[in-house]
Amino acid sequence: MVATSRPGAVAGAVGESGSLGPARAGVRVEPGSSLYHGLKRKNARQRRLISAFIRHQKQLARPFEQRLLREFNRLGERASVAYLSGAKGVADDERIAGRITREARAHLFNQRVLKPAFQSHYEKVAEDTLTLVNEAMGFGVELADLPMRQILATGGTRAGLVDVAQGTRNAIFRAITAGRARGDGPAAVARSIRELVPAGRYVNAGAQYRARLIAVTETKYAQNVSAMQTYRASGTVTALLAFDAQGAGETDDECVERDGNTYSFDDADVELASEHPGGTLSFAPVVEGVR
């Protein structure tokens, strides 16, 4: 999947909480096979489930977005205070930026702030997704301890994809060099640091966009990994049917092409790993005999 351009991002940068993955490996299903009924045809239960996923994604992402925004703003405040506390007297801008980044504890942000926030969010999404799948498909699945731990571990791993330390350093360096060029005093530079650090690399779109993109992306990803764990645990799901280019997320021609294709569990994992930030991919279960 080729990531589409994101507003406000620095040119050439890859999405913070998404990564490019291997090429697609969709299952080729022949007419008359047991999986053919799922190809480009979606039954009522599947449609209801995906509609519920889309609604709940919005509901679950909103408080996560607010939490992320608060934490990014706190990081910006710490960096601003660090600058006023003495780093402003250092002559070299690179050294100043590095010192402020350390004093603001940006290098610990992923482990101490984002990881627990992501894992808490993934747990909420997993519980919600389990309920939605059971209600829509008539399953009676209860996730064992191991699958739930795997979901939480995924959340912790995904938290590490957000580039906070380097993004913070870059934002501080931009604020200092631009302020020096304008002839700003320490207070004005500190305000600029406080505004630029929360936005990270989204220098034009701002901190709100950054928090929203991460929240929407990770809520969808958490839904998918949770749904797939539930489908595996059901013992009745034979394949996964892709729903893509659905809802208000970002899509491209490949998303449209993927919509309605059937995948094995392994190939669905490949598709999910290649999904771009803000994507709309969801998977519905294919159950033998259910139309």
Q: What confidence tens digit (pLDDT) does each residue in 111-140 have?
A: 999 999 999 999 999 999 999 999 999 999
Q: Which two tokens stand for residue 215?
A: 């929240």
Question: How many residues in total does the chain contain?
Answer: 291
Q: What confidence tens digit (pLDDT) does each residue in 192-212 have?
A: 999 999 999 999 999 999 999
Cα separations in angstroms, 281 against 64, 73, 169, 258: 20, 30, 33, 9
Mean pLDDT computed over every residue of the chain: 86
pLDDT attached to residue 40? 53
pLDDT attached to residue 253? 81
**Average pLDDT for residues 47-52, to the nearest whole number?**
96
* Cα 147 from Cα 230, distance rounded (Å): 9
2 versus 139: the higher-pLDDT residue is 139
28 versus 186: the higher-pLDDT residue is 186
* Cα 133 from Cα 230, distance rounded (Å): 8
* Cα 258 from Cα 286, distance rounded (Å): 16
| Number of other residues whose CB lies within 10 A of the CB of residue 22 | 10
pLDDT attached to residue 252? 77
Closest-CA residue to 243 (of 1, 18, 38): 38
Is residue 227 pLDDT above 90, yes or no? yes
Closest-CA residue to 114 (of 151, 79, 60, 70): 70
pLDDT attached to residue 134? 97
Is residue 53 pLDDT above 80, yes or no? yes
Q: What confidence tens digit (pLDDT) does each residue in 149-181 have?
A: 999 999 999 999 999 999 999 999 999 999 999
**Average pLDDT for residues 230-255, to the nearest whole number?**
88
* Cα 276 from Cα 278, distance rounded (Å): 6
* Cα 283 from Cα 173, distance rounded (Å): 42
* Cα 22 from Cα 34, distance rounded (Å): 27
Lateral strand order in the sheet of 262-263: 262-263, 237-243, 282-287
Is residue 12 pLDDT above 60, yes or no? no
* 32-36, 158-162, 245-249: the lowest-pLDDT one: 32-36
pLDDT attached to residue 91? 72
Torsion of the alpha carbons at 131, 238, 240 and 233, rounded to the nearest 10? 30
24 versus 69: the higher-pLDDT residue is 69
**Average pLDDT for residues 87-92, to the nearest whole number?**
69
* Cα 49 from Cα 36, distance rounded (Å): 20
* Cα 185 from Cα 154, distance rounded (Å): 44
Angle (nearest 5°) at CA 252 between 246 and 258? 65
249 — pLDDT class (breaks 50, 70, 90): low
Is residue 1 pLDDT above 60, yes or no? no
Q: Look up residue 145 and give its amino acid.
A: D
18 — pLDDT class (breaks 50, 70, 90): very low
Beta-strand ranges (E) seen in the chain are 237-243, 262-263, 282-287
